Amino acid sequence: MRVVQKFGGSSVADAASIKRVAQRIVDTKEQGNDVVVIVSAMGDTTDDLLDLAAEVSPKPRARELDMLLTAGERMSAALLAMAINDLGHTARSFTGSQAGVITTEKHGDARIIDITPGRIESALDEGDVVIVAGFQGVSQTTKDVTTLGRGASDTTAVALAAALGAGFCEIYSDVDGVFSADPRIVPGAQRLPEISYEEMLEMAANGAKILHLRCVEYARRENVPVHVRSSFSNKPGTWVKHIDEEDPVENPIITGIAHDRSEAKITVIGVPDRVGAAADVFTTVANAGINIDMIVQNVSVGGGTTAISFTLPQADGAKAMAALRSAQEPIGFRDVVYNDEIGKVSVIGVGMRSHPGVSATVFRAIAEAGINIEMISTSEIRISVLVDHADVDKAVRAVHTAFGLDADGQAVVYAGTGR
Ligand code: ASP
Ligand code: MG
């Protein structure tokens, strides 16, 4: 069988960890499998390289940054191959480019457009264990090396699993799988034996850091089941896969609760209550290349103006504020206010399609915890509320309990980061 395994940064943080992972890979190989391994940079290497770049240059060119960052994964790939070779198996490491990961040309956030795994195939044919540096590829147009965005080794792994026709993809990190909520916040959070692609997409898009969003998108599109598990144990993890909703097996209404503290809220005050004002505000933000998330517009009471609030990544806050300030006169609003002391709590589950009253339960639980809701947004299988930064943990716990998701015994508390 062809097995594709990805190991995150915390699983290969130092020499001892690399040897431990090498042994695991060799065990898989000795069970008669063809093994392809995707690896992240060791520990905090990517962050360290970014810090180093910042010390050298205030605004490095994106091309050079990608040359620098891709070195992190090259290091761990080569070291892992060495460790496997010492265990009596031949292993060969490849950069993303050598492995045939073809991407768009956008540095720092390139997308995989094709995989041409010829070299991987021939290495497998020769009996080698293949190690591929994750998170990177090469643009066919510029011929330059690209990176796929933070955490994107997951995406490399799923893309290779699909291209190589592996039946599934294993993603190893330092946590036991996907939990019903962050176990560091909710002691009674439970490991989910399985979760649907749709639910995992909502979890990943709303702050759960366990899997890269694009990895889940890719897995759903190519129908690659993903097994998220710990490299520190042999326990089964969580299967992210297609789940038939009509399945007679009893499904819980709510699958998981995600939270996100990385967003900010901008409120545009005194917006003239005229046709096209909201369009002008959001065109301004869109033209600055910024994606927004939640939106609320308050109805004007007599005064002929409205207030519009929306959320966006904190990282884009300064850019959005500058764009809006420069559009203040033409649009004619009175003021614009920035607040990053907020957090989003999202309740996710395909069961809410068929069960009434889910939002009422969410809002009631949050109210009873004494927490004020600032904004609400929903999808077919998600309800998100925006609350004060300081209330996020309490809100997550309240909702987790309200839906009966707390485990009886106290779950193991993890220090893991899911890398
Ligand atoms: N090393 C990269 C990062 O830290 C990619 C990854 O770990 O998946 O974001
Ligand atoms: Mg990761």
Please indicate, yes or no, if residue 43 is contained in any of the structural domains: yes
Q: Using a 6 Å cutoff on CB, does residue 152 contact ligand 1? A: yes
Q: What residues contact 143, with CB distance under 8 A and at least 6 apart?
A: none
Cα distances (angstroms) measured from residue 47 to each of 68, 72, 151: 11, 10, 11
Write the DSSP assignment of 236-271 as a string of letters: --EEEE---TT-SSPPPS--EEEEE-SEEEEEEEEE
Residue 378 bridge partners (DSSP): 383
| Distance between CA atoms of residues 357 and 362, nearest Å | 9
Distance 155 CA to ligand 2 centre (A): 9
Nearest to 172 by CA among 20, 5, 3: 5
Determine if ligand 1 sits within 6 Å of the CB of residue 96. Answer: no
pLDDT at 415: 62
Q: What DSSP element (H or E) covers 391?
A: none
β-sheet bridge partners, residue 194: 239
Domain count, the chain: 1
Residue 265 near residue 389 (C-beta atoms within 8 A): no
State the pLDDT at residue 254. Answer: 94
Q: Is the CB of 43 under 6 A from ligand 1?
A: no
Residue at 22 is within a domain: yes
Q: Which atom of ligand 1 is nearest to the CA of 212?
A: 8
Burial of 188 (0-12, 13-18, 19+ CB in 10 A): middle
For the CA of 134, the nearest ligand: 1
CA 285 to centroid of ligand 2, rounded, Å: 29
pLDDT of amino acid 299: 74
- Tell me the best of 38, 145, 150, 212 to mutate to test the pocket of ligand 1, counting ligand atoms within 8 Å of each CB and taking the most: 150
In a domain, 191, yes or no: no
**H-state helical runs in 237-383:** 277-287, 317-326, 328-331, 358-368
pLDDT given at position 417? 77
Identify the DSSP state of 350. G
Strands 101-103 and 136-139 come out as parallel
Question: Does a structural domain hold residue 408?
Answer: no
Q: In sequence order, what are the residues at sequence separation of 6 or more whose Cβ sits closer than 8 angstroms to the Cβ of residue 231?
A: 7, 8, 11, 20, 21, 24, 172, 173, 174
Q: Is the CB of 157 under 6 A from ligand 1?
A: no
Ligand 1 close to Cβ of residue 72 (< 6 A): yes
CA angle 315–320–326, rounded 5-degree value: 150
Sort residue 186 into left (φ over 0), alpha (ψ -120 to 50) or beta: beta
CA distance 157 to 189: 27
Q: Does 395 map to a domain?
A: no
Domain of 39: which CATH number? 3.40.1160.10
Q: Can you give the residue range of the structural domain that contains 139?
A: 2-173
Cα(308) to centroid(ligand 2), Å: 35
Binding site membership of 40 for ligand 1 (Cβ less than 6 Å): yes
Bridge partners (DSSP) of residue 296 are: 309
CB 398 within 8 A of CB 168: no
Does residue 9 form part of some domain? yes
Six token digits for residue 316:
């884009």
Say which amino acid occupies 12: V
In tens digits, the chain (419 residues) has pLDDT values of 999 999 999 999 999 999 999 999 999 999 999 999 999 999 999 999 999 999 999 999 999 999 999 999 999 999 999 999 999 999 999 999 999 999 999 999 999 999 999 999 999 999 999 999 999 999 999 999 999 999 999 999 999 999 999 999 999 999 999 999 999 999 999 999 999 999 999 999 999 999 999 999 999 999 999 999 999 999 999 999 999 876 645 668 899 999 999 999 999 999 998 999 999 999 999 999 999 999 999 877 777 899 999 999 999 999 999 999 999 999 999 999 999 999 999 999 999 998 889 999 999 999 999 999 999 999 999 999 999 999 999 999 999 999 999 987 555 555 677 78
Question: What is the pLDDT at residue 413?
Answer: 54
Q: Enter the tokens of residue 309.
A: 């609030």
Within a domain: 209: no
Give the pLDDT of residue 252.
80
- Does residue 152 lie in a domain region? yes
Ligand 1: nearest atom to the Cα of 154? 8
Residue 120 CA to residue 130 CA, distance in Å, equals 7
Confidence (pTM): 0.92
